[in-house]
Chain A
Amino acid sequence: MNSERNVWIFIEQEDHQIADASLELLGKGAEIAGRLGSEVWAVLCGDQVNDLAEPVIQHGADVVLLAEHPELEMYRTLPYSRAVSGLVGKWKPYIFLIGATPVGRDLAPRVASALKVGLTADCTDLQIGNYTAKKENRTYTDLLYQIRPAFGGNIIATIVNPQTRPQMATVREGVMHKLEPDPRRNGRIERIVVNFEPGDFALQVLSREKRQPTVRLKDAPVIVAAGAGVDSPEEFELVRELANVLGGEVGASRAAVDAGLISHEHQIGQTGSTVRPRLYIAAGISGAIQHRAGMDQSNKIIAINTDPNAPIFQIAHYKIVGDVAEVLPLLIKSLREKAK
C-alpha cells in the first residue's frame, strides 16, 4: 500500500444527509486510489454523525476520519476549516478533493490558503498523468490533472500542483459517477479530536432556510434550454411549452439567466448544472464551452440557431438553422399532432 499517495475526500453532510457531490467524489477517489495503489480516506465532520461513516465506506472509503463535536453540527467556515486544515496539515495526503458546492467553495480556499497549497476550482474532469516542468527540467510522475473550463468556458485548462501537497481541487457536482453502495466493503473509522480556538466562533448562524429544488435538471430525460437567441418573454414561453409537451425540464445558458429570463437554478454549464438527458434541445444557444461543458454528454442534441456557424452545431445530432420563434411552434405543433 502506497500510503504517501492517499486520496482524501471531504464528506459534506447537512441534517444527516450526505451531499451527492461527496458520494460522487468517493467513486472517483476510489478509481484514482486504485490507479495509485493507495487508499481513500474520508473526512466526516458533524455532531452525532457516526452512523454516516458506514455509507461513506460503502461508497468507496477505506478510512473515515470522524470529527464529532456540537460546534460542528451546522457548517460554519471557521470551526470546519480548523478541523479540516488541522487534519490535512498533519497527514499531508497526496490528493484532497472537495465538492464544488457552496459549502465546498467556502471551505476549500480557506484550507488551501492556510496550508499554502495549490487549489483548482470547479473541475469537470480529473486524471492521473506525468508533468515535466521545463524550467526545472524535472518530470513529476502521477500528478493529478485538474481539468476545467476557464476564461468564461472558452478554453479547457489542465492544471497541476507539482510540489505542494495535498493537490487540492473542488469538483463539480454531477460529473463524477457514484459507486453502487457495497455493504461488503470494509473500512476503518478513526475518531478525531478538534482543538478549537475562541476566535473560531466569531460567526453565528441565526437561521437557515432551504428550499427544495423546483427543478431536477440532473434527472430530467428531456431538457429544452434557452440561450441568447431567445430574446423575449414570449419566445421564452415557447421554450416552456415545448418542454411541457415533451415532459421535460427547462434549462438555460448563462446568457438567458443574465438576461433575467429565468433563475440561475436552471442554468446549465460550467457555472450551472451538468446534465446528460436522453434529448437536449438547444434553442438559440450559441454553444460556448462554458455551456457545452454542462451538456455535451447528452444522448441526442437538437440545436436551433439562426447562425449556421454557431459552435453548438458542431456537437448537435440535428441541426436546424432558423429562428426559434418559427421553429419552436413547428416542433410543438408536430409533437401535439403525433400525440393525438
Chain B
Amino acid sequence: MPLNRSFHSVVLVKQVPDTRNVTGEVMTAEGIMNRNALPAIFNPEDLNALEMALSIKQIHGGSVTVLTMGPMQAAEVLRQALYRGADRVVLLSDRKFAGADTQATSYTLKCAVQKLGRFDLVFCGRQAIDGDTAQVGPQVAEKLGLPQITYAESVVELKEADIVVRRAFDLGTELVKCKLPCLLTVVGSANQPRPPSARRRIEYKLAAVPSEYPRLLEKWPEFKCEQEIVEYLRAKKLNIEVWTAADLDVDENELGLAGSPTQVYKVNYVVLETTDSKNIQPTPQGIEELIAELIQEYIVG
C-alpha cells in the first residue's frame, strides 16, 4: 500500500582517508604515517546510509539531502552523492570547525540539520574507518532530541508516523518500531550501494564549491572568467552550497578545537619492538623442525 506521504531524509557523510590498505609506502621507516599517500574516499558505511535514504525516496518520494563537514576537498564526496541521486548537498566548511572531536562535530552537524528545517529521517553510517568511534550518530540524535536506531540493517516497514527497522549485531538481531522523526546509523551489511549513474555523472560533473572554480576555468576554456562560471553554475544549480559558522545559529565556543572536551595527549606511531625470533625455512625440513620444537615446549600436542 503506497502511503499518502513522502519522506525527507538527511544523510550525514564523511570523507575519510582509506585506512584499510595501509601499505609500506604510507608508513615511513620511522613509523610515521604519510597521510597524503592515502586516497580520500567516501566513508564506506556512509554509502550504505545514503543507499538506504535513496531507496526510501524511490519508493515513497520525498527528498535526500546530504551534509558533510570538512575541508573544501570534501566536496568530492558530495559530488559522489549527487551522482548517486541526492537532491541537495551542503558542505560545512570553516576554519572554526577544524580540530573538532565527536562532541564538537555532532554539535555542528546538529546546527546544520536544524537549519535545513523539515526532515523525517536522519541517516549516518555506523562508524567512520579513520576513527572507528561510532559516536557521532548517537551524539547528533541526542542533541536533536531524536530517538536513534543504531546498527540498522534494513527498513522492514515505513508507515505514516513510524518505522520498523531490523538491527544487526554480531550475535543476533533486533526488530524495533520507532516514532518519526528519528536517526539511524547504518551497518555495512545493509545493502549494496548503487554505483554513480552515468546520466547524473554528466549532469553534475561541474558541481563545485567556489575554491574549485579556478580548476574549472583551466579545464573548460569555454568559460572566459570566473564570473561566467559563477553565473553558469548558479543558473544550473550546480553551485554546491558551503555553510560556514556564520551561516549557522551556533555558539562558537562549542565549535572545532575550542568545543572539543577531548585532547590528544600523544600519538605513538607504530614502531615495532622486535621480539626474539627464529627464522623458519618454508621447506618440509624447516617446518618439521618447527613442529618438533613446539611439541617439545608443550605449545602444541
| Contacts from A to B (Cβ < 8 Å) | 77-78, 81, 102, 105-106, 108-110, 112-114, 116-122, 131, 133, 145-146, 150-164, 199, 202-213, 222, 246, 254-255, 258, 263-265, 270-271, 278-279, 288-290, 299-302, 304, 309, 311, 313-323, 326-327, 330-331, 333-335, 338-339
A199 to B146, CA, bound (A): 9
B300 touches A279 (CB 8 A): yes
Given A210-B172, A323-B282, 20 other A-B residues pairs in contact with their CB atoms under 8 A: A106-B138, A108-B135, A109-B142, A110-B142, A118-B262, A119-B262, A151-B19, A154-B33, A154-B270, A157-B267, A158-B267, A158-B268, A159-B265, A161-B261, A205-B174, A207-B175, A300-B294, A317-B276, A334-B284, A339-B301
A316 touches B277 (CB 8 A): yes
| Contacts from B to A (Cβ < 8 Å) | 17, 19-20, 22, 24, 26-27, 33, 101-103, 106, 129-143, 145, 147-151, 164, 169-179, 182, 254, 260-270, 272-284, 286-288, 290-292, 294-295, 299-301
With A116-B261, A338-B292 as given contacts, are A318 and B278 in contact (CB-CB < 8 Å)?
yes
A113 to B142, CA, bound (A): 6
B278 touches A319 (CB 8 A): yes
Interchain Cβ contacts under 8 Å between A and B, 15 examples: A81-B142, A102-B169, A109-B138, A109-B139, A110-B142, A113-B140, A113-B143, A150-B130, A150-B132, A152-B20, A160-B262, A210-B172, A302-B280, A314-B273, A335-B300
Please indicate the chain B residues that have their CB under 8 angstroms from the CB of A338 in the complex.
291-292, 295, 301
A319 touches B173 (CB 8 A): no
B138 touches A113 (CB 8 A): yes
Please indicate the chain A residues that have their CB under 8 angstroms from the CB of B275 in the complex.
301, 314-317
Residue in B101, B171, B299, B300 whose Cβ sees the most chain A Cβ within 10 Å? B300
Q: State the Cβ distance, A88 to closest chain B Cβ, in Å.
A: 13
B273 touches A106 (CB 8 A): no
A255 to B23, CA, bound (A): 13
SS class, residues of chain B in contact with chain A: mixed
A155 touches B178 (CB 8 A): no
A122 to B126, CA, bound (A): 14
With A203-B178, A316-B275 as given contacts, are A209 and B291 in contact (CB-CB < 8 Å)?
no
B170 touches A265 (CB 8 A): yes
B270 touches A113 (CB 8 A): no
With A152-B19, A208-B172 as given contacts, are A203 and B133 in contact (CB-CB < 8 Å)?
no
Across the interface, A330 reaches (CB within 8 A) one of B136, B150, B284, namely: B284
Residue in A155, A164, A317 whose Cβ sees the most chain B Cβ within 10 Å? A155
A258 touches B265 (CB 8 A): no
Please indicate the chain A residues that have their CB under 8 angstroms from the CB of B280 in the complex.
302, 318-320
Across the interface, A311 reaches (CB within 8 A) one of B145, B147, B272, B301, namely: B272
A236 to B264, CA, bound (A): 40
B268 touches A118 (CB 8 A): no
A320 touches B276 (CB 8 A): no
Please indicate the chain A residues that have their CB under 8 angstroms from the CB of B266 in the complex.
157-158
A118 touches B20 (CB 8 A): no
A327 to B286, CA, bound (A): 10
Specify the chain B residue showing the minimal Cβ separation from A270: B132
A10 to B26, CA, bound (A): 39
A327 touches B142 (CB 8 A): no
A271 to B286, CA, bound (A): 34
A121 touches B270 (CB 8 A): no
A317 to B294, CA, bound (A): 11
Across the interface, B176 reaches (CB within 8 A) one of A206, A318, A320, namely: A206
A338 to B101, CA, bound (A): 55
A335 to B223, CA, bound (A): 72
B282 touches A264 (CB 8 A): no
Please indicate the chain B residues that have their CB under 8 angstroms from the CB of A78 in the complex.
147
With A110-B148, A121-B132, A163-B261 as given contacts, are A330 and B282 in contact (CB-CB < 8 Å)?
yes
With A105-B150, A203-B149, A211-B171 as given contacts, are A160 and B22 in contact (CB-CB < 8 Å)?
no
A110 to B138, CA, bound (A): 6
B294 touches A145 (CB 8 A): no
Please indicate the chain B residues that have their CB under 8 angstroms from the CB of A81 in the complex.
142
Across the interface, A203 reaches (CB within 8 A) one of B139, B177, B268, namely: B177
With A152-B22, A319-B279 as given contacts, are A209 and B265 in contact (CB-CB < 8 Å)?
no
In the A-B complex, the 3 residue pairs with the smallest Cβ-Cβ separation, listed nearest first, are A152-B19, A322-B282, A118-B261
B264 touches A278 (CB 8 A): no
With A81-B142, A122-B132, A203-B176 as given contacts, are A210 and B171 in contact (CB-CB < 8 Å)?
yes
A210 to B17, CA, bound (A): 35
